């Protein structure tokens, strides 16, 4: 009887120790697993994520999580996309992201930008030194403007919906996209070619994502482009896009036979 009680006490003690140890072990193992799934390129690198007009940082969360799993430090910015013109938004958002990267004591600098977010990156670096920018990926950015922007700006009850910046993204020569020069940082472009709005498709003409025409996603100096049958808003959540974003930041190139290549103003560092 004494032996039985002693064994029971030992069993209970061991069970308690195992129960206390398991959560600690699981917590300790998690960073190791994530690190093993990452890359040497990602070590100490910082990625600034910029959402598009009318969106917020939550729209970039799927990409952010994938980059964090690779070991990148991410700065997923929120900025008031409909409150100010592009010049002001770029002058406020980009320095905020750079400061956050510096505070985290990171090394290489990357950008991943959706739609108008890409124009903020272009505007900020249009006349600045880009030697510190390792790579940029733009998703559906209207680099040559959008005919839809011109159309919507003519409708009284809609023209103010997207704020000052929304009126700056047309295809005319005075639009912000067309006033800027070629890019001089390593750039990969991902574009969509699916739309469910026949009116918008008729306005834009040709392949488009419901907001931006495929030809408009190109900008002189870009290194490469890949397209998928996706709408403008779906570009930030599709797994194929996310995989290509990770590939470009890791290697400086996209993967697959469907990838286009262009004369690159500043080839990515391998």
pLDDT at 47: 98
Query: pLDDT class for 45, splitting at 50, 70, 90?
Result: very high
pLDDT at 12: 36
For every residue of 183-229, DSSP letters joined together read --S-EEEEEE---S-HHHHHHH-SSB-SSSBGGGG--TT--EEEEES
Lowest mean pLDDT among 34-48, 111-125, 141-155, 217-231: 34-48
- In angstroms, rounded to a whole number, what is the distance separating the alpha carbons of residues 28 and 131? 38
Query: pLDDT class for 25, splitting at 50, 70, 90?
Result: very low
For every residue of 96-157, DSSP letters joined together read HHHHHHHHTT--SEEEEEETHHHHHHHHHHTTS--TTEEEEEEES--TT--HHHHHHTTSTT
What pLDDT digit, counting tens, does each position of 138-153 carry?
999 999 998 766 555 6
Which range, 31-40, 204-213, 218-227, is most confident? 218-227
Kindly give the pairing relationship between strand 260-261 and strand 224-228: antiparallel
Residues of the chain with pLDDT > 90, as a percent, come to: 66
Residue 43 confidence (pLDDT) above 80: no
Average pLDDT over residues 245-253: 97
pTM of the model: 0.82
Query: pLDDT class for 39, splitting at 50, 70, 90?
Result: low
Average pLDDT over residues 140-168: 75
Residue 36 confidence (pLDDT) above 60: no
Contact between 250 and 41 (Cβ < 8 Å):
yes
Supply the angle between the helices 239-251 and 61-69 in degrees, to the nearest 10: 50
Residue 210 confidence (pLDDT) above 50: yes
Q: Which two tokens stand for residue 176?
A: 């912000």
pLDDT at 148: 65
pLDDT at 143: 97
Share the mean pLDDT of the chain. Answer: 84
Residue 90 confidence (pLDDT) above 70: yes
Higher pLDDT, residue 192 or 267: 192
Paired strand residues for 227: 191
Residue 71 confidence (pLDDT) above 90: yes
- In angstroms, rounded to a whole number, what is the distance separating the alpha carbons of residues 137 and 22? 41
Average pLDDT over residues 34-60: 81
pLDDT at 13: 36
């Amino acid at each position: 009887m004494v032996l039985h009680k002693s064994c029971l006490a030992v069993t209970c003690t061991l069970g308690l120790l195992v129960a206390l140890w398991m959560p600690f072990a699981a917590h300790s193992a998690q960073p190791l697993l994530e690190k093993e799934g990452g890359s040497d390129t990602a070590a100490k690198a910082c990625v600034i994520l910029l959402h598009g007009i009318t969106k917020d940082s939550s729209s970039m969360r799927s990409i952010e999580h994938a980059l964090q799993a690779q070991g990148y430090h991410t700065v997923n910015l929120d900025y008031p996309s409909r409150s100010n013109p592009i010049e002001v938004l770029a002058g406020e958002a980009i320095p905020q992201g750079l400061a956050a990267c510096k505070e985290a004591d990171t090394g290489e600098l990357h950008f991943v930008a959706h739609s108008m977010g890409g124009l903020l990156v272009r505007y900020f670096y249009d006349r600045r030194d880009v030697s510190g920018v390792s790579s940029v990926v733009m998703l559906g950015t209207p680099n040559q403007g959008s005919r839809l922007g011109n159309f919507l700006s003519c409708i009284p009850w809609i023209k103010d919906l997207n704020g000052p910046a929304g009126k700056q993204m047309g295809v005319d020569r005075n639009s912000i996209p067309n006033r800027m020069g070629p890019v001089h940082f390593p750039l990969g472009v991902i574009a969509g070619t699916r739309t469910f709005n026949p009116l918008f498709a008729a306005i834009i003409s040709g392949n488009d994502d419901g907001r931006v025409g495929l030809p408009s996603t190109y900008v002189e100096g870009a290194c490469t482009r890949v397209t998928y049958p996706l709408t403008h808003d779906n570009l930030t959540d599709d797994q194929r896009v996310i995989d290509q974003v990770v590939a470009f930041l890791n290697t400086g190139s996209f993967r697959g036979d469907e990838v286009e290549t262009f004369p690159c103003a500043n080839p990515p560092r391998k």
